Structure 1
């Protein structure tokens, strides 16, 4: 048995009006296949180019180890020179990923390789972020703290994406006071004996190729797995739905600080309690008993 996932719709290109009407307003995802072929990045951006232009920069790396109470919010697990990291990606599978790397700050000339597309949403120009991963590395299922509208541009190789909207929260074993599901769920090959409520979740899937753009609506859960080594850039626009905007403010000002305070106060006991509650609450909401 597999997750209940439908293919994300694909279009070759799209006008601003069609995007707003067909995808933004109904908050549906879409893959746009040929939107950035006029960007210099389309032909230039690959791992070799990144190594050449940013090889001397030390980058923060993350793997798939579970959250530890001693680690602060988004603390890196290791650091490496970009040139060495690219060599590692090309040489062998590695769990090490880069995420939320602000290219504007580190390598300003990369800004010349892309432009901010007009999708009818105001993109946050100070926040283009790069994400890198090796073959078979993946992100935990999560949604972004600001519940933004995200445009995810993929470069080099292939990447598998699974999305769920916020209406699926009751089935996903969401960790309380957090933005992730249980980290021991393998969304690539889920164990429905262990996680029975996943059978009820309805989501979306796609494989992204070089130069394709994925639109992820506000607050969408996303799991990303690198089929080959590669990288992506995200541009974001603030949540427009008042409920989502309110949640974003709560997450940034209250939830994150509360969670960090509880980690300091209770240590691993807090993490363990949250993990247990993810199961208890999901099963309670669905009237499920073993």
Structure 2
């Protein structure tokens, strides 16, 4: 993979952000955008244990998708207090994703504001993501191809990004939003996944209080170097092609995939994974 460091700025005006990053659809890390938030001082794992310890949270690990697990069903549940204790005690693959803090812990709304980067952020969809040391998300892009602002807290997180133009090199699984789940994007095996050698993207490591802007539809892989968590705020896609693709994903593709899982079970999942490898490797052979 050919990975460039994501550009970094200390602060940024909305005019500079729109001109230099949003319009050309390039990622950026903003290092000191939220130092005036109470969350910057308060949000760490211990604080989350204090304010949400009694809540039962759904947990997911890094196992490949299996039909017997159900569609988006959690792999375990745990009290938030116990989960934080686990994160601090030892490495764990268990993660929380898409946790809506507006719904679960309204008190946390007082700890942040919606920054003015020149885009209209969706006020009802702030989501939290937690992970233990060495846990990671599969390479994926979001179903709505939104513009995403990813705020990291407590610890460090490794990030790898690719624009949609690199999809042909990434072993995308058909009728889904993920690449083949066996790929380790922290240390890819190019003998097994040769097309990745042609993929050009970005990388960075996020620390407490830093904000990553991910443009519309960007593929992203994230690995927790230490236990920690992040919050994402999003703005709808502006590019008409991305809006059309988001509508297809939401209203057609996901329902088709669910239907085929019901009809064919694990065979459908295995078939998609095989096609991801065959199609990507064929493009690689032709282009080389």
**Band the TM-score falls in, shorter-chain normalisation:** over 0.9
Q: Partner residue of 1:117? A: 115
Report how far residue 20 of structure 1 moved: 0.2
1:275 counterpart = 2:273: yes
Residue 232 of structure 1: which of 230, 233, 241 is its match? 230
Residue 211 of structure 1: which of 209, 229, 233 is its match? 209
Is the Cα–Cα contact under 8 Å of residues 194 and 284 in structure 2 kept in the other structure?
no
Q: Specify the SS of the correspondent of 1:286.
A: helix
Task: Write the distance in 1 (CA, Å) between the matches of 2:284 and 2:93.
Answer: 34
Q: Partner residue of 1:39? A: 37
Report how far residue 284 of structure 1 moved: 2.1
Q: Partner residue of 2:155? A: 157
List gaps (5 residues or longer) in structure 1.
Answer: none
Residue 139 of structure 2: which of 141, 144, 151 is its match? 141
Q: Partner residue of 2:105? A: 107
List gaps (5 residues or longer) in structure 2.
Answer: none
Q: Partner residue of 2:283? A: 285
Q: Map residues 178-217 of structure 1 onto 2, 5 A cutoff.
A: 178-217=176-215
When normalised by structure 2's length, the TM-score is: 0.98
When normalised by structure 1's length, the TM-score is: 0.98
Report how far residue 76 of structure 1 moved: 1.1
Q: Partner residue of 2:124? A: 126
Report how far residue 34 of structure 1 moved: 0.2
Task: Write the distance in 2 (CA, Å) between the matches of 1:59 and 1:125.
Answer: 22
Q: Specify the SS of the correspondent of 1:70.
A: helix
Report how far residue 285 of structure 1 moved: 2.4
Task: Write the distance in 2 (CA, Å) between the matches of 1:248 and 1:68.
Answer: 25
Task: Write the distance in 2 (CA, Å) between the matches of 1:36 and 1:146.
Answer: 26
More displaced 10-residue stretch of structure 1: 86-95 or 64-73: 64-73
Is the Cα–Cα contact under 8 Å of residues 70 and 263 in structure 1 kept in the other structure?
no
Aligned residues: 288
Report how far residue 72 of structure 1 moved: 4.0
Task: Write the distance in 2 (CA, Å) between the matches of 1:8 and 1:282.
Answer: 26
Report how far residue 283 of structure 1 moved: 1.8
Report how far residue 75 of structure 1 moved: 1.7
Q: Specify the SS of the correspondent of 1:20.
A: helix
Task: Write the distance in 2 (CA, Å) between the matches of 1:36 and 1:28.
Answer: 21
Q: Partner residue of 2:83? A: 85
Report how far residue 199 of structure 1 moved: 0.2
Report how far residue 165 of structure 1 moved: 0.3
Is the Cα–Cα contact under 8 Å of residues 152 and 214 in structure 1 kept in the other structure?
yes
Q: Specify the SS of the correspondent of 1:161.
A: strand
Q: Specify the SS of the correspondent of 2:68.
A: coil
